[in-house]
Amino acid sequence: MARDPYKYPRERMLEKHIRGRGIEDPRVLDVMAQVPRHLFVRENLRSQAYGDHALPTEQGQTISQPYIVARMTELLDVHSDHSVLEIGTGSGYQTIVLAYLARVVYSLERVPNLARKAIERMRLFKLDNVKIQAFDGTVGWSEWAPYDRILVTAGAPEVPRPLLEQLKPDGRLVIPEGDRDRQELVVYDKTEDGFERHAMEPVMFVPLLGRYGWREET
């Protein structure tokens, strides 16, 4: 059997950057230990794939640092019977993490080329519980709504109203909110009386572009 050159870096990532920074959910830890992050970054950057930092991908996008992926996944609190809507497929790394935890994942990516490449990666992993579409994620995906969980992987000026409307009762949405350069993670829980908003730690994401997000700069 061929030796996996990424085995030690992946284990180190898990212990130092994820478990070592307070992530405790055993299901999240198990998935993060399994998914080969190096397959989601550019070939010339694979030696850096398991460091705790974001890396550039195609067309001005990034793959989030491992801790942030784990933190957002833990905050989302995904269960095996949940349907999840992801806004911002990107490389597909977060998508696959969610797919191992949820019943089904619907993911929207506004850049068609990124959506196409992410679909190819889903096929590589033989995942049949993921649907990806190239579309404006800020308007959601009403065809499959409502969702148990919604995860937004780009920074928004505020949570898009259509996403809140597509959340099930007792559902949860996690999103970075703030300005274009800096945001904070925010958790929205849908209750009988409306929404409870809980602000968490500061983060930095690429801007969420679209009808209910930021306008594309020219």
How many Å apart are CA 96 and CA 151, to the nearest integer?
Answer: 13
Distance CA 70, CA 101 (A): 12
d(CA 188, CA 191): 9
The set of long-range contacts for 15-21, using a CB threshold of 8 Å and a minimum separation of 24, is 16/52, 17/51, 17/52, 17/65, 17/66, 17/67, 18/66, 18/67, 18/70, 21/67
Is 64 tagged catalytic? Answer: yes
Given 64, 83, 91, 107, the catalytic residue: 64
> What φ, ψ does residue 141 adopt, rounded to 5°?
-135, 85
Distance CA 155, CA 77 (A): 20
Which are the catalytic amino acids?
64
